[in-house]
Amino acid sequence: MSKRDYYEVLEVPKGASADEIKRAYRKKAMQYHPDRNADNPDAESKFKEAAEAFDVLKDDQKRARYDQFGHAGMGGGGFREPDYQNVDFDDIFSRFSDIFSGGDIFGGRGGQQRGRGRRSAGVPGNDMKMTISLTLEEIAFGVEKKLKVKKYTRCESCNGTGAETEDDFMTCSTCSGTGELRQVSKTMFGSFVNVQPCPTCSGEGRQIRNKCGSCGGEGRTKSEETISVKIPAGVSTSNYITLRGQGNAGIRGGAPGDLIVVIEEKEHEFFERDGDHIFYDLQVSIPDAILGTDVEVPTLKGKARLKVEPGTQSGKLLRMKEKGIQRLNSSMRGDQFVRVNVFIPKKISDTERKKVEALREAEHFDPLKVADTENGFFSRLKSIFS
Ligand SMILES: [Zn+2]
Ligand SMILES: [Zn+2]
């Protein structure tokens, strides 16, 4: 099971305040408390999931890290596919800035939102998702990438308002400026009021008399932007980075969506990755394995010399300390392991055959004859056959 987004777990918008998060957590905790859910097998995991989400979101530092790197930023390697199409209506409405608020009168910023007044301009833009492929070398040391992103950006002619001039706004005739439609349905149980954002003005409460010629009244136009993104070292496939406000511009001044950059690791020509470590297969000739040698091996940063000791066995792992990948959010670096493969030729010439046959007779090439002090395996073999 992939890990769910913490905001989703608590059902709070991304911009939720500490209080909202606390309240949402309490609600979930009550709902899924094991004492109350004796016959609901899912309750316990839901309870734990909520507790984990709260643990991160209540802490400003952890929350900021989570916002930037997702579960990958939390250590412990939680990977998940981003839920980029997630549309959260609470979130949308929380992004409307409150232009009717009292402002300075009470000293504070914001103040109380005034009842049913027209919501502020615009409809928020959608989040976007983009995948970038990174080489192991880029992952090992971190990299800054420039992304060409085709998206909606704010219309420059009308500065995002969608109108030709300031005077081109008029009160929406469908909703009379309230931004919402109320429908009362009478049933045998009583009257129900259904409130929905006005479809004519998308809840804005106003319409445009003369629409901007460049954007047709949307307040945004399609264009291409180059966006820089810093990828920290140590990321893995399906980790993602959220670039706040870098997604599609909103309609008529609505808040922009986020750009979610999903990481994909390219397969490497000769390295295999295992967490922070990388593995490399080295072919060594029989004489080199016996006599020892000094070889050049590729690393994630250029070539390096590596000593193969005399008597190196096939399959031996040689460790090149801290030549691996830097751990995410850490200064620690993994190692490069070099797996020694002693190369056994399949085709040989007659002269070579004579040399090898001579070796067959040689005392130190017969495992059963090797006086064993260092290798338990051979002594056990010897006792079986003698
Ligand atoms: Zn309307
Ligand atoms: Zn425009």
| pLDDT value at 183 more than 90 | no
Q: Looking at the structure, tell me whether residues 201 and 95 fall in a common domain.
A: yes
Rounded mean pLDDT of 148-162?
94
The verdict on 172 and 240 lying in the same domain is yes
Q: Which ligand is nearest to the CA of 219?
A: 2
Q: Does the pTM of the predicted model rise above 0.95? A: no
Whether residue 254 is found in the same domain as residue 278 = no
Task: Tell how far the Cα of 250 is from the centroid of ligand 2, in angstroms.
Answer: 12
CA 251 to ligand 2 centroid distance, Å: 10
Domain final position from 208, 242, 266 = 266
For the chain, the C-alpha Rg in angstroms (whole number) is: 33
pLDDT at residue 117 is higher than 50: no
In the chain, where do the E strands start and end?
128-134, 143-154, 169-171, 180-187, 190-197, 206-208, 220-231, 240-243, 259-265, 272-274, 277-285, 293-298, 303-308, 317-320, 336-343
Mean pLDDT of 135-164: 95
| One domain for residues 219 and 317 | no
Question: What percent of the chain lies above the pLDDT cut of 70?
Answer: 82
Same domain, 210 and 262: yes
Q: For residue 201, what pLDDT band results from cuts at 50, 70 and 90?
A: confident
Let me know whether 247 and 173 are in one domain.
Answer: yes
Percent of the chain with pLDDT over 90: 50
> Residue 377: its pLDDT value, please?
58
Structure letter (DSSP) for residue 206 = E
Q: Is the pLDDT of residue 106 over 60?
A: no
The mean per-residue pLDDT over the stretch 278-299 comes to: 97
Domain-ending residue, one of 238, 266, 294: 266
List the CATH number of the domain containing 32: 1.10.287.110
> Is the domain of 307 the same as that of 289?
yes
159 falls in which pLDDT band (50, 70, 90)?
A: very high
pLDDT band, residue 29 (cuts 50/70/90): confident
Question: What is the reported pLDDT for 103?
Answer: 27
In the reported structure, the alpha carbon of residue 219 is separated from the centroid of ligand 1 by a whole-number distance in angstroms of 17
Residues 122 and 259 in one domain: yes
116: pLDDT strictly greater than 50:
no
Going from the Cα of 121 to the center of ligand 2, the distance in angstroms, rounded, reads 14
Average pLDDT, whole number, for the chain? 82
Q: What is the mean pLDDT of residues 56-74?
A: 79
Asked if residues 191 and 184 have their Cβ atoms less than 8 Å apart, the reply is: yes
Which residues form the domain of 50?
1-80
If asked whether residues 95 and 199 sit together in one domain, one would say: yes
∠ at Cα 211 (206, 215), nearest 5°?
115
Q: Which ligand is nearest to the CA of 203?
A: 1
Q: Are residues 205 and 309 in the same domain?
A: no
Number of separate domains in the chain: 4
Query: What is the Å distance from ligand 1's center to 92 Cα?
Result: 17
Residue 133 has pLDDT above 50, yes or no: yes
Confirm whether 14 is domain-assigned. yes
Banded pLDDT at 302 (limits 50, 70, 90): very high
C-alpha 300 to ligand 1 mean position (Å): 59
pLDDT score recorded for residue 182: 87
Q: How far away, in angstroms, is 118 Cα from ligand 1 center?
A: 9
Distance of CA 58 to the CA centre of its chain: 21
159 C-alpha to center of ligand 2: Å? 7
**Residue 316 to residues 155, 324, 346, 364, 384, Cα–Cα distance (Å):** 63, 18, 22, 20, 25
* Most trustworthy range by pLDDT among 3-12, 98-107, 224-233, 377-386: 224-233
